[in-house]
Amino acid sequence: MSDAAAPEDDGARDLAADLHIALACLDRAAEISVPGWLGDRTPTRKADGSPVTETDIACEEAIRALLAAERPADGVYGEERPTTAGDSGWQWVIDPIDGTSNFTRGMPVWATLIGLVSPQGRPVVGAVGAPALGMRWWAHDGGPAYHTAPLQQAPKPIAVSHVDSLERAYASVAIGENGRAADPRTLADGSAIDMLAIEAAIARRVWRLRGLGDFLAHLLVAQGALDIAIDTPGLAPYDVAALVPIVTAAGGRMTTFDGAADYAHGTAMSTNGHLHAAAQGALAAACRTSE
């Protein structure tokens, strides 16, 4: 069971209705992203060097148009277009194609992420669609988390595993581009984040280690297929906001490497809750010993 704090009072907002809109956004995005993936996937490079395709941009514009029609008072923060300010204090946080590098290589592991963040700065609605895999995950604060897949007849409630020791855990550690060893961020105690050291340390402690990146590892934690997912530092808010409500509703925890509930920090680790402290400790120890 998650030890996350009790939900805050977010007023009279109908989160179930917001989730319905988020799922409609996934429908709209899939109408664009699937033909794009099957067609010309040639990327260009943004100022930061990351790839972007015409499909990324078209998906975000379509999502923004739907949100402008359905929730005109809300703000929108996305990867490909400037932030739209809103009057309500609520903000939609969207990633039109999470896993653009996979997308451009023809891999099916990419997704559209739709999150809703409350005026208190807490992600409370999450919807993720991976149409090339035929999968979706969704949840809102206070409700269950669901998953659909091609072999399922109906949406299935999901829950994290009950594994309570690192030695029996299945974990995923994402390293990032070029297998880089370090990130300019540090842990709260000043230790430099060394992903190669973290991978090696976790590999020695757990039963099985995988190297999944982007959205999928965290959602496999929510499903109970993985027990720990440690992501590459340097994440943007739109990489994380949609995932937090799903992992939490499934009974897990998703925090920064230091254990803070901050989706915009740039680091993210999700666990089934039972293993969070142990995984965090192993991660911190690896960073300290690598210096």
CA angle at 36 for the pair 33 and 40, rounded to the nearest 5°: 160
CA distance 175 to 209: 12
On the CB side of 240, CA atoms within 13 Å amount to 26
Q: Tell me the C-alpha distance between 286 and 252, whole Å.
A: 23
Per-chain mean pLDDT for the chain? 91
Please check the confidence at residue 1 and state whether its pLDDT lies above 60: no
Q: Are 240 and 233 in contact (CB under 8 A)?
A: no
Least confident of 4-8, 178-182, 269-273: 4-8
> Span 77-104, mean pLDDT?
94
- Residue 231 has φ and ψ, to the nearest 5°, of -95, 165
Pairing of strands 123-130, 135-140: antiparallel
Is pLDDT of 61 > 60? Answer: yes
Q: In the chain, where are the structural domains located?
A: 15-158, 166-289
Lowest mean pLDDT among 42-46, 77-81, 276-280: 42-46
Separation of alpha carbons 63 and 29, rounded Å: 7
The verdict on domain 166-289 having CATH code 3.40.190.80 is yes
In this prediction, residue 47 has a pLDDT band, given cuts at 50, 70 and 90, of confident
pLDDT tens by residue, 91-143:
999 999 999 999 999 999 999 999 999 999 999 999 999 999 999 999 999 99
Q: Is 166-289 the same fold as 15-158?
A: no
Instruction: Please answer whether residues 218 and 263 qualify as being in contact, where contact means their C-beta atoms are separated by less than 8 angstroms.
Output: no
Condensed to tens digits (0 to 9), the pLDDT of residues 227-237 reads: 999 998 889 99
Q: Which CATH homologous superfamily contains domain 15-158? A: Fructose-1,6-Bisphosphatase, subunit A, domain 1 (3.30.540.10)
pLDDT at 36 over 80: yes
Alpha carbon 101 to chain centroid distance? Answer: 16
